[in-house]
């Protein structure tokens, strides 16, 4: 892999296997704030058909209520961060891709929580985690990075339809991970540029892309 690029990873469902913990904390945070519109795992997965924050606004929640839910969620998940595991092969994947590429983590989660987990797993081959506390729109975060790295190829890797739609809106190539929250078939509905089935397959894809660009 010789040509450097900008590789942007989603966090939950791509790097870490966190859905059960996320669902428990997010549904409880919604309930504690009087919102019962997301009370099942399927309703939560449906929220990730698009941008999670826009989805909550469309469901009639105010910005203040959304911020309160997120704050409570952030507090709740701290208790479980030590239980979150990487998907097998993901540490090696990020290390290999980070040798020559610029790696960023773009997430709807809280930056500090993601950094804590990544550090605990020994993952250091990334530039920065850009969570919801820094900017809620993944489109804006992606566009900001592509302006900074204007002369390299840019890719966004996600596991939900919302990730793919936001990557496309931001004008970058999109890669869906079949091991994540929405799975291969649901991801395919968003028509990502590529779908990979393992972290090893992701590394292989970038090797192939580098060879084609030479």
Q: 170, 174, 105: which is closest to 134 by C-alpha?
A: 105
CA distance 89 to 94: 9
| pLDDT (0 to 100) of residue 210 | 82
pTM over 0.85: yes
State pLDDT tens for residues 64-75. Answer: 999 999 999 999
Summarize the confidence of residues 88-99 as an average pLDDT.
Answer: 96
Backbone angles phi, psi at 80, to 5 degrees: -115, 0
CA distance 61 to 156: 28
| pLDDT (0 to 100) of residue 213 | 67
Q: What is the pLDDT confidence band of residue 212, given thresholds at 50, 70 and 90? A: confident
> In this model, does residue 2 exceed pLDDT 60?
no
State pLDDT tens for residues 16-28. Answer: 999 999 999 999 9
Summarize the confidence of residues 175-181 as an average pLDDT.
Answer: 97
| pLDDT (0 to 100) of residue 1 | 45
Q: How large is the angle between the packed helices 199-213 and 90-97, nearest 10 degrees? A: 20
| pLDDT (0 to 100) of residue 104 | 98
State pLDDT tens for residues 115-171. Answer: 999 999 999 999 999 999 999 999 999 999 999 999 899 999 999 999 999 999 999
> In this model, does residue 89 exceed pLDDT 70?
yes
Structure-model confidence comparison of residues 209 and 179, the more confident one:
179
């Amino acid at each position: 892999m010789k040509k450097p690029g900008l590789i942007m990873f989603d966090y939950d469902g791509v790097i870490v296997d966190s859905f059960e913990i996320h669902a428990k904390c997010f549904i409880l945070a919604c309930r504690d704030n009087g919102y019962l519109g997301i009370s099942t795992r399927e309703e939560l997965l449906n929220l990730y058909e698009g941008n999670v924050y826009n989805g909550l606004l469309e469901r009639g929640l105010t910005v203040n209520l959304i911020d309160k839910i997120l704050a409570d969620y952030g507090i709740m998940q701290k208790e479980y961060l030590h239980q979150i595991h990487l998907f097998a092969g993901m540490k090696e994947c990020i290390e290999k891709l980070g040798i020559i590429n610029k790696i960023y983590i773009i997430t709807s989660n809280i930056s500090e929580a993601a950094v804590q987990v990544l550090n605990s797993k020994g993952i250091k081959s990334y530039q920065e985690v850009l969570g919801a506390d820094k900017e809620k729109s993944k489109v804006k975060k992606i566009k900001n990075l592509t302006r900074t790295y204007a002369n390299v190829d840019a890719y966004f890797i996600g596991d939900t339809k919302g990730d793919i739609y936001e990557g496309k809106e931001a004008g970058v190539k999109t890669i869906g991970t079949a091991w994540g929250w929405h799975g291969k078939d649901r991801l395919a509905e968003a028509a990502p540029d590529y779908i990979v089935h393992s972290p090893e397959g992701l590394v292989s894809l970038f090797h192939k892309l580098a060879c084609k660009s030479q």
